[in-house]
């Protein structure tokens, strides 16, 4: 089989679809693994945001459109497989806000991937906390928001550091079109 010179993650439409499918599978796997991690802290909702490794990478390797598609499909599939309609609603609100902020920060050109990811973590937290305040009567959002915002920023920082290492490696090596 003849390999194209300089092939990368932006190959033809067939390979692009295949790679986005792989990214989706990886995001679902990360989301599932994260759901298995026990939450030792007394504040429900704190997560590492492992699936955001994939979403931020797609944002940088492709565009916000592909990141939106993979993010939405991931949230819906994980919700139907391991959650419920509320987890889908919370997931979609957080994912949409996070991606919107990350896309805007990236487009500004003023932030590194770490800054973009931190913004995404903060937006994710804010959107889910706002949704909880709207849905759950008497939700103590004033107590939750500062704690969850700090955890969202920390998770965004860690995801950003990981993506800062991963994305350049994918760009330099490319994803081989060997299928």
CATH of the domain at 83: 1.10.1760.20
Quote the pLDDT of residue 11. Answer: 54
- Nearest residue to 94 via CA among 115, 112, 72: 72
pTM value?
Answer: 0.85
- Residues 112, 160: contact at Cβ < 8 Å? yes
Quote the pLDDT of residue 40. Answer: 61
Q: Which domain holds residue 140?
A: 13-173
Quote the pLDDT of residue 97. Answer: 97
In a domain, 178, yes or no: no
- Residues 123, 149: contact at Cβ < 8 Å? no
In a domain, 25, yes or no: yes
- Nearest residue to 114 via CA among 68, 45, 60, 67: 60
Quote the pLDDT of residue 2. Answer: 39
In a domain, 145, yes or no: yes
Quote the pLDDT of residue 1. Answer: 38
List of the chain residues with pLDDT < 70: 1-13, 40-43, 45, 174-179
- Nearest residue to 35 via CA among 25, 23, 44, 47: 47
- Residues 163, 53: contact at Cβ < 8 Å? yes
């Amino acid at each position: 089989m003849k390999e194209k010179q300089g092939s990368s993650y932006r190959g033809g439409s067939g390979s692009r679809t295949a790679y986005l499918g792989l990214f989706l599978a990886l995001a679902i796997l990360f989301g599932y693994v994260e759901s298995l991690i026990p939450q030792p802290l007394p504040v429900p909702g704190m997560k590492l945001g492992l699936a955001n490794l994939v979403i931020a990478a797609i944002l940088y390797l492709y565009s916000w459109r592909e990141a939106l598609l993979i993010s939405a499909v991931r949230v819906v599939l994980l919700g139907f497989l391991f959650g419920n309609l509320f987890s889908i609603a919370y997931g979609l609100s957080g994912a949409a806000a996070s991606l919107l902020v990350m896309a805007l920060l990236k487009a500004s050109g003023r932030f590194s991937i770490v800054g973009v990811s931190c913004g995404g973590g903060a937006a994710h937290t804010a959107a889910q906390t706002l949704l909880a305040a709207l849905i759950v009567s008497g939700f103590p959002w004033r107590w939750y928001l500062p704690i969850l915002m700090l955890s969202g920023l920390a998770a965004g920082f860690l995801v950003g550091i990981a993506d800062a290492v991963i994305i350049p490696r994918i760009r330099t090596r490319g994803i081989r079109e060997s299928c």
